[in-house]
């Protein structure tokens, strides 16, 4: 008996979306995350090792980890420009077709 490798939409895992509403907003989140990590390390000589407790707070703006932030940046940049289509278990990434403007002549 042969088992098909096609993905069933009912059994498919939900997609993770790390994108922000805009690229500047996403870059601001990255700057906050990097600032928290760099600041916590830079302040160790001044305020002691307790400042390292600020580093895990960077997980909030990074939405998990720096890699998650990078994936979100790619998603934010490509939003509306790329479209994923899956047919018979084979997924492809293509340019999205522009939506009609809704203006009539």
pLDDT in tens, the chain (105 residues): 444 444 444 455 556 688 888 899 999 999 999 999 999 999 999 999 999 999 999 999 998 889 989 999 988 888 777 777 888 888 887 877 766 555 554
Residue 90 Ramachandran class (φ > 0 left, ψ -120 to 50 alpha, else beta): beta
- 28 in a structural domain: yes
Q: Dihedral through CA 89, CA 74, CA 61, CA 44, nearest 10?
A: 120
Query: How many domains does one find in the chain?
Result: 1
Name the pTM for this structure: 0.63
Instruction: Enter the tokens of residue 100.
Output: 């009609």
Domain residues for the domain of 43 are 23-95
- 9 in a structural domain: no
- 35 in a structural domain: yes
CA 56/CA 12 separation, integer angstroms: 31
């Amino acid at each position: 008996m042969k088992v098909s490798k096609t993905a069933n939409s009912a059994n498919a895992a939900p997609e993770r979306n790390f994108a922000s509403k805009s690229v500047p907003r996403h870059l601001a989140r990255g700057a906050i995350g990097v600032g928290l990590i760099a600041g916590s390390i830079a302040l160790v000589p001044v305020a002691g090792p307790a400042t390292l407790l600020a580093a895990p707070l960077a997980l909030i703006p990074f939405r998990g980890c720096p890699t998650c932030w990078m994936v979100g940046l790619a998603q934010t940049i490509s939003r509306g420009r790329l479209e994923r289509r899956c047919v018979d278990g084979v997924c492809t990434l293509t340019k999205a077709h522009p939506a009609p403007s809704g203006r009539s002549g």
